[in-house]
Structure 1
Amino acid sequence: MSITDKTRKVLWGRSGNLCAFCKAHLVVDASAVDAESVVGDECHIISGAPSGPRHDPSIAPEGIDNLVNLLLLCRVHHKLVDDQPETFTADTLRQLKANHEKWVKDRLGPSAQPEPVRIVRFAAEIPKHLTLVTSAKSLLDLASGCHGRYDDYPENLIEEDLDCVGALLQNLTDWVDLGLHEPHERISAQKSLADNMSGLDQAGLRVYAAREKQQLRGGVLAPSAFYALHLRIVRQDDPGQVPLGA
């Protein structure tokens, strides 16, 4: 008999393409001029040859190439276990195989999949009041480093006012996405946003804003800070405005 394709696939799959002894990868990537190289062996725990390592005459020939009698090893450790059969007995190799396959399953199985990426909000960090923003610099300082934004503006804006609001929101998004790593970029952003805010002022609109610290969780990385900007545009005569200190 010989090892069947199905048995071979199950053995490599359960072993994760890793040596059960040293966890070395058993497939080397292709180079620029050569194909991949397989450096692993499908090893018999019980040899089918009478003079082979750990041979057991009570094992039927058809059981030699059975999955339970096969172990995936790198070529170094294949030679080691066959050269030292008294040290690496059949029971020892069976336990080695079981431990390795459990290790692979624990790390690659469904339970090992990373948690979905999500944003976590904290009640204490949600702004209760937004601050009136009167300069493009202040708005840019608040928006810089933010990864998300909550926008709010009056529903009954006329078309001209809506254009002003849309221009500010889009312009702010573009500049923040750019990153503003250089001083001249920040100066250009402030000038451009100042023009937008002047247009809002002429339309009788004001800008209020505040930052909220959230947390990004899930995936393969540790939790990290995630900042969101709350931006609200209101009419100058909106009765909901509360002066600071009131």
Structure 2
Amino acid sequence: MAISDKTRKILWGRSGNRCAICRQRLVVDETTADAESVVGDECHIHSGTQNGPRYDAAVDPQYVDSLDNLLLLCRIHHKMVDDQFETYAADLLRSIKANHEQWVEDKFDEKPDYPSIKVTRLKHEIPERLIPVESGAELFNLVSGCHGSYQDHNDDLNDEEVEIVGGFLQSLKDWVDIAGELEPIEKVRAKKSLGDELEDLRSKGFLVFAAKERQRLEGGKDEPSDFFVLHVTVTRENDPNIIRS
């Protein structure tokens, strides 16, 4: 499936020919020697490709090229959000899209201007070191309330280890996305599931370290708010870089 002409027209119309992040014009005027130049891209919030940014197997393939899954960006910010997809998670991009389209509407209605949305890291909130995670309950409590994650692992994994470590990190990303919506019984099950995965990793010689970072979400029409991100590293238990207290 591809983006339809109608969807493209609606997206460009609601976006006002502006990048949803920097709000620069996305069609450069013609010159005396050349025609106009289009410098904007239709960016997918959830990629339809398995290894693409913000891919989610639960997303219906029919939804991938729909209007709700697209936002308009300049080519610089398109590359930025796709390269930094852990920071620019799906929820954040949806918020950027909604605020930008509201900004376009307000421009026509002569309403007050809203600043661009941005996430700011606070130096004193950046974890100095990650702590070892011993239980599923401990890990779930770190995951709860997070909006995204920074993930790391050993670079020299063999094929079997790729499946083990990659499967755990994918599972953890899924819990980050839905932890805040779970009912009490589902939270208990989640803690048990995470505990089982941690035990499986330990049996294969891996340890998990994690910490939560509070960042600041600013801009748009709302007041600044907290934006939490999970740091998680999966590493071999004999890794010489582990700081043992």
Q: TM-score band, normalised by the shorter chain?
A: 0.5 to 0.7
**Structure 1 residue 236, shift from structure 2 partner:** 0.5
State the match for 2:218 in structure 1. 217
Q: Distance in 2 between matches of 1:180 and 1:171?
A: 16
CA contact (8 A) 1:206 1:236 kept: yes
Q: Distance in 2 between matches of 1:190 and 1:224?
A: 27
CA contact (8 A) 2:216 2:225 kept: yes
TM-score, normalised to structure 1, is 0.53
Tell me the SS of whatever aligns to 1:212.
Answer: strand
CA contact (8 A) 2:212 2:230 kept: yes
Q: Distance in 1 between matches of 2:181 and 2:222?
A: 26
State the match for 1:155 in structure 2. 155
**Structure 1 residue 195, shift from structure 2 partner:** 2.2
TM-score, normalised to structure 2, is 0.53
Unaligned runs of 5+ in 1: 1-103
Q: Which amino acid aligns with 2:199?
A: S
**Structure 1 residue 181, shift from structure 2 partner:** 3.3
State the match for 2:201 in structure 1. 200
Q: Distance in 2 between matches of 1:108 and 1:204?
A: 61
State the match for 2:241 in structure 1. 240
Give percent identity, aligned residues only.
40
Root-mean-square deviation (CA), in Å? 2.1
Count of residue pairs the alignment pairs up: 139
Tell me the SS of whatever aligns to 1:151.
Answer: strand
**Structure 1 residue 180, shift from structure 2 partner:** 4.7
Structure number, greater radius of gyration: 1
**1:60-83 CA distances to partner (integer Å, 9 max, x unpaired)?**
xxxxxxxxxxxxxxxxxxxxxxxx
Q: Distance in 1 between matches of 2:243 and 2:162?
A: 24
State the match for 1:140 in structure 2. 140
State the match for 2:82 in structure 1. none
Q: Which amino acid aligns with 2:110?
A: L
Alignment of 1:22-41 (within 5 A): none
State the match for 1:45 in structure 2. none
CA contact (8 A) 1:117 1:219 kept: yes
Alignment of 1:222-233 (within 5 A): 222-233=223-234
